[in-house]
């Protein structure tokens, strides 16, 4: 908020607005109306708390949007993400040696209980998220939970690939970058979170496509074909005595494990609620705030959580913003040079990598992931609006 205020005071003229700016402002104003008007069962302060939870990233976006891109040292700040990934891996190694997640010794569970009214114990407690259904321990390093740890690794991978890719699509990676890549791989493996693991692989695949690395693309195709054939073979055995990671894989595909069933139940409840109340139930009826008040309806999907609270209009706006960012950042990868191109590649890969996780969680509830994602997104639009576009581009791609 302070960065946004300082940027507003530093403005010398009114900036040109992009279509995405209008969409984000429109959604933000729409959600503010839901917070001000007596809509839903939550009180005024409950609605304000929910508004902050689902829309504060708009403020972060405009903090980046109104920032002067020329004053941002992309290489320097992207290097900090690598150091953070390496630090997370070091903490993870300590956790592996002691076989105990840091959160079990740091008082984290007491913190979330007193400040967010979330229990650690019980079948739906926070402590359960540190144990997979197959019996393996999931590690979160210094993040709040294994899911955030895993998605943070996806974010770091996207930034590392963008940082060391030059204008000719050559990957000129340094020793620090190699260590960072190894750190993200270690983190994504031991976080044992399925959606981010799929996103991690997707980021590598999409990066290979946009940089025209046919060997990597063909290798992924072959590995996928072999993996699919093996999975079909396992299902064709009609046996249910698999254990370990094989059991995790099969149970994920056929939605037979408790976690997958929980996702299906939450999605179904949310979709039914949206169908019955297309204008929403009001802020605070789903997501983090709803869970803390034990009045949660639906969930496990960022768009469903938005729809349950604010209706179909908010869902369409949210989806439009997400899809437009992917489309526009992809289009501008080959139109920008230098640090601006690195920023563009990073935003594109982050959006692609985050998409799967938005379908299985409330991604915006993580301050670190949300703020980094949207600040960089705003910074990219600032770059685009300061660059003279080719005449062949649509008006909103200025």
Q: What is the pLDDT of residues 165-200, one digit of tens each?
A: 999 999 999 999 999 999 999 999 999 888 899 999
Query: Does residue 242 belong to any structural domain of this protein?
Result: no
Lowest-confidence pick of 44-58, 205-219, 288-302, 323-337 = 288-302
Sequence-ordered alpha helix ranges (H) in 211-286: 214-236, 244-253, 258-276
Residue 132: the pLDDT is: 75
Query: Does residue 251 belong to any structural domain of this protein?
Result: no
Does residue 14 share a domain with residue 127?
Answer: no
Give the separation between CA 46 and CA 53, rounded to whole angstroms: 11
Give the separation between CA 375 and CA 85, rounded to whole angstroms: 19
Residue 395: the pLDDT is: 46
Does residue 280 share a domain with residue 348?
Answer: yes
Residues whose CB is less than 8 angstroms from the CB of residue 348 and which lie 6 or more positions away in sequence, other chains included: 206, 210, 326, 329, 330, 333
- Dihedral angle, C-alpha 379, 385, 389, 391, nearest 10 °: 140
| Mean pLDDT computed over 252-263 | 73
| 394-398 long-range Cβ contacts below 8 angstroms, 24+ apart | 396/18, 396/19, 396/20, 397/328, 397/331, 397/332, 398/16, 398/18
Query: Does residue 217 belong to any structural domain of this protein?
Result: no
Query: Does residue 388 belong to any structural domain of this protein?
Result: yes
Lowest-confidence pick of 7-11, 161-165, 173-177, 222-226 = 7-11
Question: pTM score, two decimals?
Answer: 0.89
Lowest-confidence pick of 92-101, 111-120, 196-205 = 111-120
Give the separation between CA 193 and CA 150, rounded to whole angstroms: 6
- Is 139:95 a contact under the CB 8 Å cutoff? yes
For the chain, how many structural domains are there in total? Answer: 2
**Chain segment 61-90, per-residue pLDDT in tens:** 998 998 888 888 889 999 999 999 999 999
Does residue 184 share a domain with residue 108?
Answer: yes
Does residue 79 share a domain with residue 52?
Answer: no
Asked whether the predicted pLDDT for residue 28 surpasses 90, the reply is: yes
Does residue 53 share a domain with residue 39?
Answer: yes
Give the separation between CA 267 and CA 151, rounded to whole angstroms: 21
**212, 227, 249 - which closes a domain:** 212
Q: What is the mean pLDDT of the chain?
A: 86
Give the separation between CA 61 and CA 384, rounded to whole angstroms: 14
Does residue 327 share a domain with residue 313?
Answer: yes
Asked whether the predicted pLDDT for residue 397 surpasses 60, the reply is: no
Query: Does residue 237 belong to any structural domain of this protein?
Result: no
Query: Does residue 222 belong to any structural domain of this protein?
Result: no
Q: Residue 159 is encoded by which pair of tokens?
A: 């930034």
| Mean pLDDT computed over 372-382 | 94
CA–chain centroid gap for 93, Å, is: 24
Residue 143's domain comprises 73-212
Does residue 385 share a domain with residue 261?
Answer: yes
Does residue 95 share a domain with residue 200?
Answer: yes
- Taking each helix axis from N to C terminus, what angle separates 146-163 and 367-385, rounded to the nearest 10 degrees? 30
Query: Does residue 95 belong to any structural domain of this protein?
Result: yes
**Chain segment 145-162, per-residue pLDDT in tens:** 898 999 999 999 999 999
Lowest-confidence pick of 4-18, 100-114, 383-397 = 383-397
Does residue 392 share a domain with residue 264?
Answer: yes
Does residue 143 share a domain with residue 99?
Answer: yes
Does residue 102 share a domain with residue 56?
Answer: no
Does residue 348 share a domain with residue 317?
Answer: yes
Q: How many residues does the chain have?
A: 398
């Amino acid at each position: 908020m302070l960065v946004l205020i300082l940027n507003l005071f530093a403005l010398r003229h009114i900036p040109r607005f992009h279509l995405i700016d209008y969409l984000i402002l429109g959604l933000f104003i729409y959600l503010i109306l839901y917070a001000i008007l007596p809509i839903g069962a939550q009180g005024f302060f409950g609605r304000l708390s929910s508004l902050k939870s689902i829309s504060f990233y708009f403020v972060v976006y405009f903090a980046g949007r109104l920032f002067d891109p020329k004053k941002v040292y992309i290489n320097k700040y992207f290097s900090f993400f690598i150091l953070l990934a390496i630090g997370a891996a070091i903490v993870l190694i300590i956790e592996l040696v002691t076989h105990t997640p840091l959160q079990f010794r740091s008082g984290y569970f007491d913190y979330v209980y007193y400040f967010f009214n979330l229990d650690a114990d019980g079948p739906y407690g926070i402590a359960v998220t540190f144990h997979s259904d197959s019996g393996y321990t999931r590690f979160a390093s210094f993040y709040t939970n294994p899911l955030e740890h895993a998605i943070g690794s996806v974010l770091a991978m996207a930034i590392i690939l963008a940082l060391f890719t030059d204008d000719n699509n050559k990957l000129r990676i340094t020793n620090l970058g190699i260590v960072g890549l190894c750190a993200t791989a270690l983190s994504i493996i031991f976080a044992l979170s399925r959606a981010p693991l799929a996103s991690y692989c997707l980021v590598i695949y999409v990066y290979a496509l946009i940089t025209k690395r046919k060997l990597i693309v063909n290798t992924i195709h072959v590995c996928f074909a072999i993996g699919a054939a093996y999975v079909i073979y396992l299902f064709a055995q009609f046996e249910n005595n698999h254990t370990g990671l094989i059991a995790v894989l099969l149970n994920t595909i056929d939605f037979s494990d408790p976690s997958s069933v929980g996702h299906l139940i939450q999605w179904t409840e949310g979709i039914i609620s949206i169908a019955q109340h297309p204008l929403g139930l009001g802020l605070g009826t789903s997501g983090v705030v709803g869970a803390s008040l034990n009045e949660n309806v639906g969930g496990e999907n960022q768009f469903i959580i938005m729809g349950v609270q604010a209706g179909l209009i908010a869902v369409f706006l949210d989806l439009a913003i997400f899809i437009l960012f992917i489309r526009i950042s992809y289009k501008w990868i080959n139109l920008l040079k230098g640090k601006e191109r690195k920023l563009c590649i990073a935003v594109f890969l982050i959006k692609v990598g985050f998409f799967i996780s938005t379908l299985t969680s409330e991604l915006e509830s993580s301050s670190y992931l949300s703020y980094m994602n949207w600040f960089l997104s705003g910074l990219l639009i600032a770059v685009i609006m300061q660059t003279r576009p080719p005449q062949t581009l649509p008006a909103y791609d200025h």
